[in-house]
């Protein structure tokens, strides 16, 4: 049985309250309209995913793929009512094609494995919901898109902010000119990596904080502008002396310029104590969101002004739950044969920018 820690208990309680309306609704949805999904890789993000599937009205956990079929596989199978015969290892994964209860997979592996398992899932005829970053290179992204297109399956990248009401509202305000003509974005997302893990290994992660944290800012700004950056300036630095950052940078800052003349400054770090924020300045107004990018117990707060006056508001990321609305959207796309809001092409465009950013950092690599 899964031991509830204080934190997971609190979070579950909050999610349960927040999802009351969805739970009532889910009872009216026929089970044949639920998409069967299997997560690949059962780390912490997959745990969030599994809880979210449990709260969604149109998705159901019907399989598990893990390198630890006994310790992890059986534990989660029992928690979520998955048949033992639907627990796969990386070796037996390809036989998932014969499991008709599994319509789709959720790729929650280290970044360097996203490409391989997305392609293998597509070849097994399964739709793919792949966590961000999509892969560790734009070339991998292209292969993933091609494989899914060839197999006729959906490919969605896990950009949860596209399903967050606060971000959807600000996106609408930006696009409708509520802040006038937009001149500038600033964003930062900082965290601390106190011990060695796969994210600090370039071969597995693709790069440092840019791949895990900076990509939130990059993707949000690309989404809000509706443009692709054309001019890139970047600088990286590592102040840590403990030897954790031998393979990837600790901190990376970049400047982007878009064709319209919009500028953006983005920073991310694995060694900084700092807030995570997004600021948008226009000719007639501005807004700041802080916190902006964290999940969990986060309550997003925004403050600014428009021509019509002061602007302020907030929204908890668990009400509605970003992950639940994201899973629901993906399942709807599968059920209705619709294009996801954040298809593979969205992940590819981010990776193309990430590659330019690292290229621009060039000689500054510490």
Nearer to a second copy, 31 or 273 (CB): 273
Nearer to a second copy, 146 or 231 (CB): 231
The residues in 138-197 that bind a second copy, with binding defined as CB under 8 A, are 179-181, 183-184, 186, 188, 190, 192
Binder among 138, 253, 325, 353 for a second copy (CB under 8 A)? 253
> The tokens 């089970």 sit on which residue?
31
User: What distance, in Å, lies between the first and last C-alpha atoms of the chain?
Assistant: 46
- Applying CB under 8 A, the span of 114-122, 155-163, 252-260, 323-331 interacting with a second copy comes to 252-260
Nearer to a second copy, 7 or 239 (CB): 239
Q: Is 316 helix (H, G, I), strand (E, B) or coil?
A: strand
- Verify whether residue 132 is a known catalytic residue: yes
- Applying CB under 8 A, the span of 137-145, 148-156, 234-242, 313-321 interacting with a second copy comes to 234-242
What are the phi and psi torsion angles at 59 (to 5°)?
-135, 155
The residues in 295-354 that bind a second copy, with binding defined as CB under 8 A, are 305
CA of 350: how far to CAs of 198, 219, 355, in Å? 21, 6, 9
Helix (H) or strand (E) run with residue 105 in it? strand 104-107
Is 274 near a second copy (CB under 8 A)?
A: yes
Beta bridge partners of 157: 130
Nearer to a second copy, 58 or 269 (CB): 269
Decide: 137 and 206 in contact? Cβ < 8 Å.
yes
Running DSSP on this structure, what letter comes out for residue 324?
H
Is 247 near a second copy (CB under 8 A)?
A: no
Is 294 near a second copy (CB under 8 A)?
A: no
What would the DSSP string read from start to end of 64-85?
EE-S-IIIIIIHHHHHHT--GG
Residues 114, 102: Cα–Cα separation, whole Å: 19
* Residues labelled catalytic: 132, 216
Residue ranges binding a second copy (CB under 8 A): 179-181, 183-184, 186, 188, 190, 192, 231, 233-235, 237-239, 250-251, 253-257, 260-263, 265, 267, 269, 271-275, 279, 281-286, 288, 305, 360, 363-364, 366
């Amino acid at each position: 049985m899964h031991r509830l820690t204080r934190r997971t208990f609190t979070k579950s309680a909050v999610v349960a309250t927040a999802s009351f309306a969805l739970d009532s609704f889910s009872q009216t949805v026929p089970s044949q309209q639920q998409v069967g999904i299997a997560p690949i890789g059962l780390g912490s993000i997959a745990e969030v995913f599994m809880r979210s599937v449990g709260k969604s009205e149109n998705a159901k956990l019907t399989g598990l793929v893990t390198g630890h079929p006994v310790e992890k596989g059986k534990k989660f199978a029992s928690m979520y009512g998955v048949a033992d015969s639907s627990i796969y290892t990386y070796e037996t994964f390809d036989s998932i094609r014969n499991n008709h209860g599994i319509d789709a997979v959720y790729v929650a592996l280290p970044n360097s494995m996203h490409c391989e398992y997305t392609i293998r899932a597509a070849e097994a005829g399964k739709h793919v919901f792949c966590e961000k970053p999509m892969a560790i290179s734009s070339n991998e992204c292209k292969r993933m898109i091609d494989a899914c297109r060839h197999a006729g399956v959906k490919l969605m990248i896990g950009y949860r902010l596209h399903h967050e009401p606060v971000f959807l509202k600000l996106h609408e305000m930006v696009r409708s000119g509520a802040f006038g003509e937009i001149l500038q974005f600033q964003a930062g997302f900082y965290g601390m990596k106190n011990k060695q893990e796969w994210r600090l290994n370039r071969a597995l992660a693709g790069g440092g904080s840019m791949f895990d944290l900076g990509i939130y800012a990059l993707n949000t700004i690309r989404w809000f502008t509706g443009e692709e950056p054309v001019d890139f300036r970047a600088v990286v630095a590592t102040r840590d002396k403990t030897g954790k950052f031998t393979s990837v940078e600790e901190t990376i800052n970049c400047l982007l310029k878009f064709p319209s003349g919009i500028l953006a400054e983005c920073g991310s770090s694995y060694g900084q104590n700092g807030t995570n924020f997004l600021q948008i300045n226009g000719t007639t107004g501005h807004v700041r969101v802080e916190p902006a990018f964290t999940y969990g117990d986060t309550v997003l707060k925004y403050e600014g002004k428009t021509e019509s006056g002061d602007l302020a508001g907030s929204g908890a990321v668990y009400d509605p739950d970003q992950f639940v609305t994201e899973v629901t959207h993906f399942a709807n796309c599968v059920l209705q044969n619709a294009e996801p809001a954040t298809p593979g092409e969205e992940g590819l465009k981010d990776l193309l920018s990430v590659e330019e950013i690292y290229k621009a950092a060039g000689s500054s690599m510490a």
